[in-house]
Structure 1
Amino acid sequence: MQTFPTLSTKRLVLSQPTVADTEDVILQMNSTSEISENTLTLPFPYKKENADFWFQMAEFSFQKNEAFIFGIREKENLKLIGAVGLHLDNSNNKAEVGYWLGKSFWNKGYVSEALQKVLKFGFEELNLNKIYASHFLHNPASGKVLEKCGFVFEAVLQQEILKNGKFYDLFRYCILKSNY
């Protein structure tokens, strides 16, 4: 794929994040420390250099056909409010999906709406066989989002992640193309 795709839902536009989104990304990432606490690698507080690195990583990963990182935007103003990414494992025809959303946009169904569109893209455009996701035990809302989108619980990965000096279990979910 030469050009980064833009996806659209009823309320959202999913498009490639760019340096023009720097202020929005920093604002949303710093809306609560819970975003960092509920994700594997995102820091808090989130700084401009973090955003710069993220934009470069998103562009480089797309160019190398390793990931599609979509900025989540409300259609009405196109401000970036979050992100959803497909991180490809091309040799196994699968991808890991991850997402985050600014706190003032929680509990509005935005992540589910974005995730459903990304699943469609992954299965229908990229012809993936499996899409999987993980969440920490202390973030059950993420599991509810995954279940709402058709994912099934797959396993508990014990002490899978070392974060801030502590080991954490991950709950792993997946959806297969045949069940999509």
Structure 2
Amino acid sequence: MWVDPDDDPRETDVETVDERSILLDNLRHYRLTLEMKCAGLDAEQMARRSIPPSTMSLLGLVRHMAEEERHFRRVMAGEDAPKLYRTDEDRDGDFNGAIADPAVVEDARRQWRAEVELTDQYLAGVTELGTRNAGFSDLGPEPGGDEQLRDVLVAQIAEYARHCGHADLLRERIDGRVGQ
């Protein structure tokens, strides 16, 4: 077991009774899962790649999810929030720049937590799941689009769920820990 089920921080006594609470609880759950998968690892372990030619690593996933959290600011709130790691020249900069340097690891964790906090602040200020984006979308091939908050939340939950599966395999490769 990863953690004793009685001590699992993902489990709460909060009752999810409506669509909003269910979506936010799932988002919280997957964020904690990613954090758990990265806990206790040094810079080399965080940056360790899966298998060639993939550049995927736990560090890359943290950097990638910081970019994805930033999506809320850019798309839903309409803020000027440039990409953190990706560029036009290196669209996989979140993974390619994930090197075994303690400063890079600390920066990624700090950026991810900051973006999570900013997303949560935005979500706390918007109660209607039908709220439309601020006129910009980077989900599709063209800027623009008309997206509802609920759709962006579901997409974010799916992104975390997919990458938590990757994180589980990466962690197992590092030290054999699996599960939960």
Q: TM-score of the superposition, structure 1-length normalised?
A: 0.24
Q: Which has the higher helix share?
A: 2
Q: TM-score of the superposition, structure 2-length normalised?
A: 0.24
Q: Which has the higher strand share?
A: 1
Higher relative CO (Cα under 8 Å, sequence separation at least 6) belongs to 2
